[in-house]
């Protein structure tokens, strides 16, 4: 029944409301209760006591983007595995062979990434992939 | 859903949250005490007997500290980041069952929401936690914060993959994403050992445990806040209660992971029950708490014993060891299950 299905989620919504209220209350309370004596040095971003140089939002290693992209690819593949695993008992050996082919394809992609050095964090950024 | 049930649900959620936050506060105390003993110190002793009132004192102190908003921060995002961390951490807890179904007035006391896709819900909500950290790092206008946030997000998504893969083995054995059904599938014994998933899935268990420790940014994988190089990582610029919210989120995540490990691999609340009816009703809760406590102890023990990884080692370990091992475990498990069910 779709009705009772959605009913399961009502407590989650209530929980979200309570938790959001709690987080908001904490922010407001600490804003109200804390003393406030700002000074220029106190408001400066922390840089080990030295006057900050330049903007903090600088360019950073492209490796982080690569990891994010690879993650999305593989995470989608993991999501395919979840429903398969849940009904696996009914699929039996047929399901196993089907998924083995899929996993082999994933593994081939993984091996390619590995060989290209995407997974080597220390490799210099000036390689083929940026 | 009728109004009385809704009110009762609200009351239950408030009570569970209060207990949860108290447990989180005392997890901090537990960790400080235990790490101190590992390092031949005493830990907190001044506030109350054995420092037991220390969490309360900390809460009051943090609440009344100056709420500094450094210049150059991206205002709204800076404010929302700790809230987002805490909200996702607490919300993930809402599908954790901590005892067998005990209904009073049509409401189950020991679980907030019994979702059919409970495990998927936890995974999705806890991966939302990355947003809190990366937004905090980016909005703080501090180089340490930015580096900490970036490192943390890369680490969390890498290890999330390994954690997700290692859990497929459990799904193969139990055939459900509902946490309650996964626990119920572990009822009974094989000879003298209990039917816990940890025995057939020990490779998956170790993958999950390692990935979970890395995902919660705990030692030896706490690179995002490696004090020696990044000051405090993504929450360098946070003070007062905003800092405390990140702290609470981290400990809540630890607790959720401990609960998840107990439910998925160690039979949840199953354990010997005996004696009168009252004792039989309480014992499952006791077993569940005991198992979770063991995992919390393990967390602190690991923190007190192991040195920190280097960042490139950490990423290499996640991608080149954990992911292939979890994938192999998955193929092996599905092969055995296929043979066994054919």
What confidence category does residue B86 fall into, taking pLDDT thresholds of 50, 70 and 90?
Answer: very high
The sign of the torsion formed by the CA atoms of B86, B92, B98, B99 equals positive
Beta carbons of A37 and B331 less than 8 Å apart:
no
* A66 CB-contact burial (10 Å; exposed 0-12 / middle 13-18 / buried 19+): middle
DSSP secondary structure letter of residue B66: -
Separation CA B127–CA A109 (nearest Å) = 24
Q: Which of B90, B161, B177 sits opposite A74 (nearest CB)?
A: B161
What confidence category does residue B224 fall into, taking pLDDT thresholds of 50, 70 and 90?
Answer: low
Q: Which of B64, B83, B116 sits opposite A34 (nearest CB)?
A: B64
Domains of chain A by residue range: 1-35, 62-116
Statement: residue B225 has pLDDT above 80: no
Q: Which of B142, B231, B323 sits opposite A56 (nearest CB)?
A: B142
User: What does the CA dihedral A104, A105, A111, A113 come to, rounded to 10 degrees?
Assistant: -150
Q: Which pLDDT value is given to residue A94?
A: 83
Give the CATH number of domain A62-116; options: 1.10.3720.10, 2.60.40.10, 1.20.58.1610, 3.40.640.10: 1.20.58.1610
Statement: residue B294 has pLDDT above 90: yes
Closest CA to B255 of B300, B285, B287: B300
Beta carbons of B337 and A82 less than 8 Å apart:
no
The CA distance from A96 to the nearest CA of chain B, in Å, is: 7
Separation CA B220–CA B300 (nearest Å) = 11
Return the percentage of chain B with pLDDT > 70, whole number.
97
Say if the ipTM goes beyond 0.90: no
Q: Which of A19, A95, A122 sits opposite B312 (nearest CB)?
A: A122
Give Cα B336 to chain centroid, integer Å: 30
Q: Which pLDDT value is given to residue A128?
A: 46
Q: Is A82 on the interface with B (CB under 8 A)?
A: yes
Q: Which residues of A touch B70 (CB under 8 A)?
A: 43-46
What is the tens place of the pLDDT at every residue in B167-190? Answer: 988 988 888 888 888 888 888 888
Beta carbons of A26 and B241 less than 8 Å apart:
yes
Q: Which residues of B touch A125 (CB under 8 A)?
A: none
Separation CA A11–CA A13 (nearest Å) = 5
Q: How many CB pairs under 8 A join A and B?
A: 214
What confidence category does residue B145 fall into, taking pLDDT thresholds of 50, 70 and 90?
Answer: confident
The CA distance from B136 to the nearest CA of chain A, in Å, is: 12
Beta carbons of A30 and B62 less than 8 Å apart:
yes
Q: Which of A14, A96, A106 sits opposite B334 (nearest CB)?
A: A96
- Comparing B117-121, B225-229, B248-252, B301-305, the range with the smallest average pLDDT is B225-229
Contact yes or no for B232/B273 (Cβ under 8 A): no
Statement: residue B271 has pLDDT above 60: yes
The mean of the pLDDT values for chain B is: 86
Beta carbons of A88 and B175 less than 8 Å apart:
yes
- CB contacts under 8 A, A 12-71 vs B, are 12, 14-16, 18-20, 22-24, 26-27, 29-31, 33-38, 42-48, 55-58, 60, 63-64, 67-68, 71
Name B194's bridge partners: B189
Q: Which pLDDT value is given to residue A123?
A: 65
Within 10 angstroms of residue B204's Cβ, the number of other Cβ atoms is: 27
What is the tens place of the pLDDT at every residue in B256-268? Answer: 999 999 999 988 8
Q: Which residues of A touch B138 (CB under 8 A)?
A: 57
Q: Which residues of B touch A13 (CB under 8 A)?
A: none
Residue found by looking up tokens 């996993």 in the block: A103
Q: Which pLDDT value is given to residue A127?
A: 47
Separation CA B338–CA A96 (nearest Å) = 7
- What separation in angstroms does the CA of B201 have from each of A63, B116, B170, B204? 33, 22, 7, 5
The CA distance from B38 to the nearest CA of chain A, in Å, is: 31
- CB contacts under 8 A, A 90-129 vs B, are 92-93, 95-96, 99-100, 103, 106-107, 110, 114, 119-122
Beta carbons of A86 and B165 less than 8 Å apart:
no
Q: Which pLDDT value is given to residue B290?
A: 93
The CA distance from B71 to the nearest CA of chain A, in Å, is: 5
Q: Which pLDDT value is given to residue A129?
A: 44
Beta carbons of B161 and A30 less than 8 Å apart:
no
Q: Which of B83, B241, B342 sits opposite A29 (nearest CB)?
A: B241
Burial string for A23-50 (b: 16+ CB within 10 Å, else e) reads beebbeebeebbeeeeeeeeebbbeeee
What confidence category does residue B2 fall into, taking pLDDT thresholds of 50, 70 and 90?
Answer: confident
Separation CA B187–CA B195 (nearest Å) = 6
What confidence category does residue B47 fall into, taking pLDDT thresholds of 50, 70 and 90?
Answer: confident
Q: Which pLDDT value is given to residue A124?
A: 56
What is the tens place of the pLDDT at every residue in B125-144? Answer: 888 888 888 888 888 878 78
| Per-residue tens of pLDDT for chain A, all 130 residues | 456 777 888 888 989 999 999 999 988 888 888 777 877 777 777 777 677 777 777 777 777 888 888 888 888 888 888 888 888 888 778 888 888 899 899 899 889 988 887 777 776 554 444 3
Q: Which residues of B touch A22 (CB under 8 A)?
A: 17, 86, 90
Half-sphere exposure of B135 (CA within 13 A, CB side): 18
DSSP three-state, residue B190:
strand
Q: Which residues of A touch B214 (CB under 8 A)?
A: none
Q: Which pLDDT value is given to residue B295?
A: 92
The CA distance from A130 to the nearest CA of chain B, in Å, is: 17
The CA distance from A20 to the nearest CA of chain B, in Å, is: 6
Average pLDDT estimate for B207-229 = 79
């Amino acid at each position: 029944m779709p009705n009772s299905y959605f009913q399961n989620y009502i407590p989650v919504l209530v929980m979200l409301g309570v938790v959001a209220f709690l987080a908001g209350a904490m922010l407001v309370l600490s804003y109200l209760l804390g003393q406030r004596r700002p000074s220029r040095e106190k408001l400066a971003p922390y840089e080990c006591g030295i006057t900050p140089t330049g903007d903090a939002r600088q360019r950073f290693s492209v490796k982080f983007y690569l990891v994010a992209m690879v993650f999305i690819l593989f995470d989608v593949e993991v999501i395919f595995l979840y429903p398969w695993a849940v009904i696996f008992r009914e699929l039996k050996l047929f399901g196993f062979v089907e998924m083995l082919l899929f996993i082999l394809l994933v593994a081939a992609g993984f091996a390619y990434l590995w060989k290209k050095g995407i997974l080597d964090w220390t490799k210099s950024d000036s390689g083929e992939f940026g | 859903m009728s109004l009385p049930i809704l009110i009762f649900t609200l009351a239950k959620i408030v009570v569970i949250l209060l207990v949860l936050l108290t447990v989180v506060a005392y997890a901090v105390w537990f960790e400080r005490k235990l790490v101190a003993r590992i390092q031949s110190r005493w830990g907190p002793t001044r506030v109350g007997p054995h420092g037991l009132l220390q969490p309360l004192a900390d809460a009051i102190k943090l609440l009344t500290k100056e709420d500094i908003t450094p210049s150059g921060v991206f205002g709204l995002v800076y404010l929302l980041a700790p809230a987002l961390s805490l909200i996702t951490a607490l919300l993930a807890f809402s599908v954790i069952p901590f005892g067998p179904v005990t209904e009073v007035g049509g409401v189950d006391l020991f679980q907030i929401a019994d979702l059919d896709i409970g495990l998927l819900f936890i995974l999705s909500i806890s991966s939302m936690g990355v947003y809190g950290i990366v937004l905090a790092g980016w909005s703080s206008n501090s180089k340490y914060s930015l580096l900490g946030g970036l490192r943390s997000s890369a680490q969390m998504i890498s290890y999330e993959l390994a954690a997700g893969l290692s859990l497929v083995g459990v799904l193969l054995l139990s055939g459900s994403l509902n946490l309650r059904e996964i626990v119920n599938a572990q009822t009974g014994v094989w000879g003298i050992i209990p039917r816990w998933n940890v025995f057939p899935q020990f490779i998956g268990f170790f993958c999950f445990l390692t990935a979970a420790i890395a995902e919660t940014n705990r030692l030896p994988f706490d690179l995002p806040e490696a004090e020696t190089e990044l000051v405090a990582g993504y929450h360098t610029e946070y003070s007062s209660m905003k800092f405390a919210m990140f702290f609470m989120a981290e400990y809540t995540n630890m607790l959720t992971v401990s609960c998840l490990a107990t439910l998925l691999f160690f039979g949840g609340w199953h354990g010997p029950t005996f004696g009168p009816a009252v004792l039989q009703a309480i014992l499952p809760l006791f077993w569940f708490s005991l198992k979770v406590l063991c995992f919390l102890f393990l967390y602190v023990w690991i923190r007190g014993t192991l040195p920190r990884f280097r960042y490139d080692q950490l990423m290499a370990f996640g991608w080149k060891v954990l992911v292939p091992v979890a994938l192999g475990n998955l193929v092996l498990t599905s092969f055995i299950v296929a043979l066994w069910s054919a």
